[in-house]
Amino acid sequence: MANTWLWVLAGIAIYTLVVMSLRARGVLPDSVRVSGPLVTLHTTYGRKLLDKLSRPRRFWRAWSNIGVGMSLVVMVGFGAVIFASAIFIGLRPEQAAQSPIRNPQNALVIPGVNEFLPLSAAPEIVTGLLLGLVVHEGGHGLLCRVEDIDIDSLGLVFFAFIPIGAFVEPDEESRANADRGAQTRMFAAGVTNNFALTAIVFVLLFGPVAGSIAVAPGAAVGDTFPGSAAAEAGIGHGDRITALNGTTVDNQTELDRELSRLGGTVAVTVNGEETVTVERYPVITRVVEGQYSNITFDGDTLPRVESVNGTAVSSEGAFREAVTAREIVSLETDRGDETLPVGAFVAQVQPGNALAAEGAPQNTSLIVTDIGGQRVVNASALGDVLDGYEPGDEVTVTAYVDGERETYTVTLGEQDGEAHLGVELRAGYSGMVVDDFGIDTYPAATFLSFLSGGPGGLEGLFVSISGILFMPFLAAFSPEISYNFAGFTGEIVNFYTVGGPLGFLGGGLVFLLANVLFWTGWINFNLAVFNCIPAFPLDGGHILRTSTEAIVSRLPVSNRQSLASTITMGITVTMLIALLATILGPALLS
């Protein structure tokens, strides 16, 4: 991979030298301008088309006035977010260093360079980017003609041989002579069009396209744990487990139910076709960092649990039964042994809540092993025990604090109408997740629900749109989900089937259309928001200037123009510093 990038960079460098040399020798026409690897092609073609499209001027001004309102709201909101983020990084550098997105290249919308934008989705990403740039710059050009601002040229931008955008170059003297309202509408037009295109593609995506896609039956295998039983049997990424010992399983819930019912050896049907035999055995797939220093987690395979308290265990069920018998457990694995209390691992005792009110420490490891005389072996068991109580009930809680056994008499609090202990938990037995099968399921249904517009209503729509915007890097923020979504690419298509209103197009075309709509919406939304940052040379910076001039013009001060320029430049510099701190801060502090 490194050699590939070296060849790419060398090619770009050679291309840059060649075109700059041709430009210096006067070989290239005046319509071609060179700035390093960026080449812009200027033309006057298209101005007549813009003149025709601009004729319903009242409509376009009304449309742009709506965009001005949206741009101002987003400009203030997103500017405040960037500023607050930079302040947070400065005040809490240790937390900023733990940011899940640390690398500055992840701010670039370049597949293969941005680790969250894979090369497999490059065609759809480039299509969405080009559409976004065309409608953005087209909006500027259209409003130039609506507001009688002359256009010097239109054109395309190339990075080496690759087209990466379009532009409209207004005549600077004509633009300067236009009133502030006309300039503001012109600068807001690009953002308005990006938001409009986002809305259009989301309507298409939520409606007929996602409506033609369904989750395929079976448990989707996102990955298998190295050295696990499933991995040893040859099950891997992209497979669907459709039956166990001849019993059909349609999803993860049914798979878990069948595995808990069956013995150690199971016949697993994969993709409805091949059947393989899986000899199950427990491995440790995940632990809370720093809690298991005597067990080695280096290497290509995971630690295999051999016995508990001297008794051999061959399944997670046997493991659970063994740890239930005692609070302090001796755990033997092929990577080392550990003696520890086994219960629900508390990552945080929430201040002011039930357990904290009884003096439980907030900044140390705490493991709950018993509630009201009922044994608690893991996080899910704690939830099951609390289901038998009501808010306000008084219970006795046994916990180990830094290895010391403590007892608390707690009045249970309330959360969402249910009894609550006031703690934040980590999954597994004392923060240790044990699995005797060894697959990590892919959240196919969750991703499709986002693409389908959610469960309905404004709240569901908001959740769906928010989910789509986070899907390319969802795993970085959600500990419950191990995967990001880059579209229906590669083996992922095996997790879905096509039918419904667009089923006649076939899976290939429907998945391609879904990918294009997904990335077009995602890129256009982010393009619009980014351009609203109140800093030059972005549209938000120009809108900031015209808005500031409009306000300052009403103040009883002299040198209004100088004051407006000072305010605008001060905000621009502040925003640029805050933006650089937000992008580079986590990388520098990590």
Question: Which tokens go with 65?
Answer: 């006035």
DSSP string over 176-197 = HHS-HHHHHHHHHHHHHHHHHH
Name the average pLDDT for the chain: 86
Indicate if 283-434 has the same CATH topology as 226-280.
yes
User: How much of the chain exceeds pLDDT 90, in percent?
Assistant: 39
Which residues of the chain have a pLDDT value below 50?
A: 1-2
The pLDDT assigned to 107 comes to 64
3-state SS assignment for residue 33 = strand
Predicted TM-score (pTM) of the model is 0.81
Would you state the pLDDT for residue 116? 77
The ranges assigned to domains in the chain are 1-36, 46-207+516-589, 226-280, 283-434
* pLDDT of 583: 73
Kindly report the CATH number that applies to the domain delimited by 283-434. 2.30.42.10
What is the model's pLDDT at position 1?
45
Coil, strand or helix at 41: strand
Q: Which two tokens stand for residue 70?
A: 């949206």
Beta bridge partners of 382: none
Q: How far apart are CA 46 and CA 554, in angstroms?
A: 39
pLDDT tens, position by position, 198-242: 999 999 998 899 999 999 999 999 999 988 999 999 999 999 999
Within 8 A by CB and 6+ apart from 214, the residues are 448, 496, 497, 498, 499, 500
- The pLDDT of residue 8 is 66
Q: Are 300 and 226 in contact (CB under 8 A)?
A: yes
The Cα 442–Cα 482 span in angstroms is 8
**Phi, psi (deg, nearest 5) at residue 85:** -65, -40
Q: Which fold has domain 226-280?
A: Pdz3 Domain (2.30.42)
Quote the pLDDT of residue 99: 59
Contact 507, 494 (CB under 8 A): no
Sequence-ordered alpha helix ranges (H) in 245-293: 252-261
